[in-house]
Amino acid sequence: MPGAIDVWMQHPTLRFLRHDMFASLRRWTGAAEAEQELPLSLTISAMDEGGVDRGLIAAWYGPDGPLISNDEVASFVAQAPDRLVVWEAQYGDFINGAQVVIDEFLLSARVKWGQKPSLVLLLPHGDEGQGPDHASARPERFLQLAADFNMRVANCTTAAQYFHLLRRQAALLVHDPLPLIVLTPKSLLRHRFVASAPRELAEGRWEPVIDDPRAHSRRARIRRLVLCTGKIAVDLETSDARSAGSSIAIARVEQLYPIPDAELSALIAGYRHVEEILWVQEEPENMGAWEFLRPTLIELAGNRPLRYVGRPRSSSPAEGSATRHIDQQQRIIADALRIPNPEPRIPTLSNV
């Protein structure tokens, strides 16, 4: 794997990392000069908000494969808990090859051994018509393992949210370190909807739940509240049918775990005239966040009906046909944005 190596060595704590990194690369590849075989990039974050040296943020490229190096990364995180370490997968389903490491070391280390891992996983996730192999980071598996506040799981829909999420993770390294699982749809990388103004980065903060800004002035008219997370929210907001749904509010659940109960409760309570609540997702019914969030949503919905909108149960995370993918995606959007309980037309001379 040829490529230039760029190493910024302004911080002395990078020396041991660089030494251990190349030693690991030699073991992986058998190369005598791993520095010339594999590209490596190390970037430093020197100061926190209080002006204290927080060490480094480390990012590197290892062998291109389904998490071959995850045991090495997990080991480094355990030995250097005050460093923010980020592992980004080329595709979210690469996490399948690391399930043993995740189960054994990352998500249960606190309960079993009192360790406090804080590894950040950036996992591309989203049904984008690329087939079943690259559609899912398997969020349902992480959520199934979620207990005792052992991790944070997020699915951001704006650049500012992503920025504040990582900034918050770095700030909590000492006081409340937890693994962070971030679902990162590739189609949103350059999407106009997710762009944020500089003011949102400079003055904003992390929001576990984002209300529909267009519904604030017409709350009394809202009859359907749509709850969703991640890429499907962008698909709904940018759909041609969105403008016709003036009685529909779309709220985004950006944090899946810990479940933001207080924020969700306040959100739902703010729509007093809602007649139904929908959970909309593009994953099959037995995948994604639906099964995990359903008990909480049922409780918060009260006497209002809660309905699921998404793909039917399936053994595959996505269709193997681009045509079937488009049909299913359009069906989900149409069902979510269909005007609820349309008002009866008043007879006039023009329509009788």
Q: Of 42-51, 129-138, 143-152, 261-270, where does mean pLDDT reach its minimum?
A: 42-51
Identify whether 350 is part of a domain: no
Check whether the bond before 124 is cis (ω within 30° of 0).
no
Domain identity same for 138 and 261: no
Identify whether 305 is part of a domain: yes
Among candidate residues 175, 203, 231, the one where a domain is terminated = 203
Identify whether 261 is part of a domain: yes
Identify whether 347 is part of a domain: no
Q: What is the mean pLDDT of residues 226-233?
A: 96
Domain identity same for 138 and 53: yes
Label residue 169 by pLDDT band (50, 70, 90): very high
Domain identity same for 54 and 199: yes
Domain identity same for 197 and 213: no
Label residue 341 by pLDDT band (50, 70, 90): low
**Percentage of the chain exceeding pLDDT 90:** 51
Identify whether 346 is part of a domain: no
Residue pLDDT, tens place only, 294-337: 999 999 999 999 999 999 999 999 888 888 999 999 999 999 99
Identify whether 342 is part of a domain: no
Partnered with residue 308 across adjacent β-strands are: 279
Residue pLDDT, tens place only, 236-282: 999 988 887 789 999 999 999 999 999 999 999 999 999 999 999 99
Domain at 28, CATH number: 3.40.50.12470
Domain identity same for 215 and 118: no
Residue numbers of the domain that contains 233? 209-337
Tell if the pTM clears 0.85, that is, is over it. Answer: no
> Is the pLDDT at 71 greater than 80, yes or no?
no
Label residue 58 by pLDDT band (50, 70, 90): very low
Domain identity same for 23 and 57: yes
Domain at 276, CATH number: 3.40.50.11610
Identify whether 351 is part of a domain: no
Give me 238's structure tokens: 């940018």
pLDDT of residue 1: 29
> Is the pLDDT at 156 greater than 80, yes or no?
yes
pLDDT of residue 340: 61
Identify whether 29 is part of a domain: yes
Question: What total number of domains does the chain contain?
Answer: 2
pLDDT of residue 210: 97
**Greatest mean pLDDT range, 15-19, 143-147, 241-245:** 143-147
Domain identity same for 196 and 262: no
Residue 341 exposure: Cα atoms within 13 Å on the Cβ side: 10
Domain identity same for 161 and 265: no
The more confidently predicted of residues 69 and 222 is 222
DSSP designation for 39: -
Domain identity same for 213 and 280: yes
Is residue 187 within 8 A of residue 126, CB to CB? The reply is yes
Quote helix, strand, coil % in the chain, to nearest 5.
40, 15, 45
Among candidate residues 182, 203, 224, the one where a domain is terminated = 203
Label residue 73 by pLDDT band (50, 70, 90): low
| Burial class of residue 270 (count of CB atoms within 10 Å of its CB; 0-12, 13-18, 19+) | middle
The residues near 323 (Cβ < 8 Å, ≥ 6 apart) are none
Domain identity same for 275 and 332: yes
DSSP state string for 96-116: GGGHHHIIIIISSHHHHH---
Which residue is associated with the tokens 């739902």? 268
Among candidate residues 203, 229, 254, the one where a domain is terminated = 203
Domain identity same for 173 and 30: yes
Average pLDDT of the residues of the chain:
79
Domain identity same for 328 and 228: yes
